Amino acid sequence: MHTDTLQDKVVDHPEDNQGTSHYHQNEVVVRFNQDPSEADLAQIKTEIKANSVQKLGYTYVFRTEAMEAKALMAYFKKWSVAYVEPHFLYLTNDYYDDQENRDTSSSDTYDATKDSGLNQQTSNLSPNFIPNDNLYSKYQWNLPLIETVQGWQVNRGAKDIIVAVVDTGADLQHQDLKGQLLPGYNVISSSDSPQDDVGHGTHVAGVIAAIVNNNLGVAGMTWYNKVMPVKVLDQTGAGSTYSVAQGIIWAADHGAKVMNLSLGNYADSSFLHDAIKYAYDKDVAIIAASGNDNTERPGYPAAYTEVFAVAASDSENKKAPFSNYGDYIDVTAPGVSIASTYPNNQYAALSGTSMASPHVTALAALIRSTNPALKNTEVYEIMRKSAQDLGTPGRDKYFGFGLIDVVKAVEWLNRQQL
């Protein structure tokens, strides 16, 4: 549907996604000004012939086969509500062109089971250190560009600074992620583990925390930060406002200090915003991908003021052709052909602001590892002030404050210029 008018829209090409959002046809999200009584709920269920009612925090999700979303929204106007809105769906923010910009061919993948040698991570790195990860030198152009290795000379992370990846889950058995993942949570099927059945979350997790210097696959940006996979998107890569909000709240309640959201749409959902505010108020640094439709229209959750918004750039520090842009963008990070972990001990090169966002998430984790006392707002400010200016001098709508710079960011505290 078109986000402003709620009119149905047929999308035949990725560029047609600009300004559109998906929603559940027979569901609405309602927050009442005052919680309804049992009698009120019984009346509502009867009048709309509700199949189910779910509650998360102060918000209710009503489902019925008898009415569509627009009719349901009109019905709830007679009740005293803070808001009533469609039950939106959020999608992964990776990008596919007509040739499917995803490479899992034999030339760009590596089977981790063929080489399980593990080098111990040393306490000190030589100034000329280069990771021995099998795919690093050939494919990981992104880490040198943002001065990651130099940043490791200052800080390589801390295991007690937990990073939540709210996504499709993660491959819990991947050899390049073993020991890096916490148990996490599966919102889609609360009795199951957050095992990735898409690949997107595994890729995001690898950018952040794939084991460094183990002769396997790729190097992550942090050595010691643990990733908490929270599965909120189903096997199609889509998740409802309810599932995404539930995952955000769960991660905030279970110790996440940094959170990656490589998902979104163009609907400004009060329900999702409430969950974002909850995590933000618990001092979580929230990083989100801006979207991949090359549009200036704000995408959510990236455009919320509590969220640090990320655009994507390429190996030449140019704007990625697909990357969304606008005044809400904070920084840019590499997002074109990013090599990372993929299910079944494989590796893939994917593109999208989904891939740019975890670079910034990892940087936020390194900053918080350097000084755990920093507030989320201070982490945001360090990343803005330490970025390498690109494009028009100063902040601009394509690159925000510029390309993240790992070594400058982690050294920022030592210079005490915040």
The answer as to whether 6 is a domain residue is: no
| Model pLDDT, residue 125 | 85
Asked if residue 206 and residue 328 are part of one domain, the reply reads yes
CATH number, domain at 177? 3.40.50.200
Domain C-terminal end among 88, 116, 145: 88
Q: Is 203 helix (H, G, I), strand (E, B) or coil?
A: helix
| Model pLDDT, residue 115 | 39
The answer as to whether 323 is a domain residue is: yes
254 carries an active-site annotation:
no
| Model pLDDT, residue 92 | 83
Rounded to 5°, angle at Cα 179 from 130 and 192: 135
Asked if residue 144 and residue 281 are part of one domain, the reply reads yes
Catalytic residue among 94, 103, 133, 167: 167
Closest of 287, 323, 368 to residue 95, by C-alpha: 323
Q: Which residues pair with 167 in a beta bridge?
A: 231
Asked if residue 229 and residue 296 are part of one domain, the reply reads yes
Asked if residue 54 and residue 120 are part of one domain, the reply reads no
| Model pLDDT, residue 357 | 98
Secondary structure E strands in 250-398: 256-261, 263-264, 285-289, 308-313, 331-334, 338-342, 346-350
| Model pLDDT, residue 5 | 56
Closest of 388, 368, 343 to residue 172, by C-alpha: 343
| Model pLDDT, residue 103 | 42
Asked if residue 106 and residue 83 are part of one domain, the reply reads no
Domain count, the chain: 2
The answer as to whether 351 is a domain residue is: yes
CATH number, domain at 71? 3.30.70.80
The answer as to whether 4 is a domain residue is: no
Catalytic residue among 354, 357, 369, 386: 354
| Model pLDDT, residue 95 | 65
Tens place of pLDDT per residue across the chain (418 aa): 555 555 565 555 545 555 556 777 889 999 999 999 999 999 999 999 999 999 988 899 999 999 998 999 999 999 999 999 998 888 887 765 432 344 443 334 444 444 333 333 345 788 889 999 999 999 999 999 999 999 999 999 999 999 999 999 999 999 999 999 999 999 998 777 999 999 999 999 999 999 999 999 999 999 999 999 999 999 999 999 899 999 999 999 999 999 999 999 998 999 999 999 999 999 999 999 999 999 999 999 999 999 999 999 999 999 999 999 999 999 999 999 999 999 999 999 999 999 999 999 999 999 999 999 999 999 999 999 999 999 999 999 999 999 999 999 999 876 654 4
The answer as to whether 94 is a domain residue is: no
Asked if residue 80 and residue 224 are part of one domain, the reply reads no
Asked if residue 175 and residue 38 are part of one domain, the reply reads no
Catalytic residue among 24, 87, 174, 200: 200
Domain that holds residue 175: 102-415
| Model pLDDT, residue 111 | 44
Q: Which residues pair with 310 in a beta bridge?
A: 289, 331
| Model pLDDT, residue 318 | 97
Asked if residue 333 and residue 204 are part of one domain, the reply reads yes
Asked if residue 193 and residue 77 are part of one domain, the reply reads no
167 carries an active-site annotation:
yes
200 carries an active-site annotation:
yes
The answer as to whether 93 is a domain residue is: no
- The bridge status of strand 185-186 relative to strand 227-231 is parallel
| Model pLDDT, residue 179 | 95
- Complete DSSP assignment for 366-402: HHHHH-TT--HHHHHHHHHHTSBP-SSSSSBTTTBT-
**Cα–Cα distance, 357 to 360 (Å, whole number):** 5
**Cα–Cα distance, 184 to 21 (Å, whole number):** 28
The answer as to whether 162 is a domain residue is: yes
Asked if residue 140 and residue 20 are part of one domain, the reply reads no
| Model pLDDT, residue 101 | 40
Task: Please name the amino acid found at residue 333.
Answer: A
Domain C-terminal end among 88, 116, 148: 88
Asked if residue 380 and residue 233 are part of one domain, the reply reads yes
Asked if residue 199 and residue 52 are part of one domain, the reply reads no
The answer as to whether 411 is a domain residue is: yes
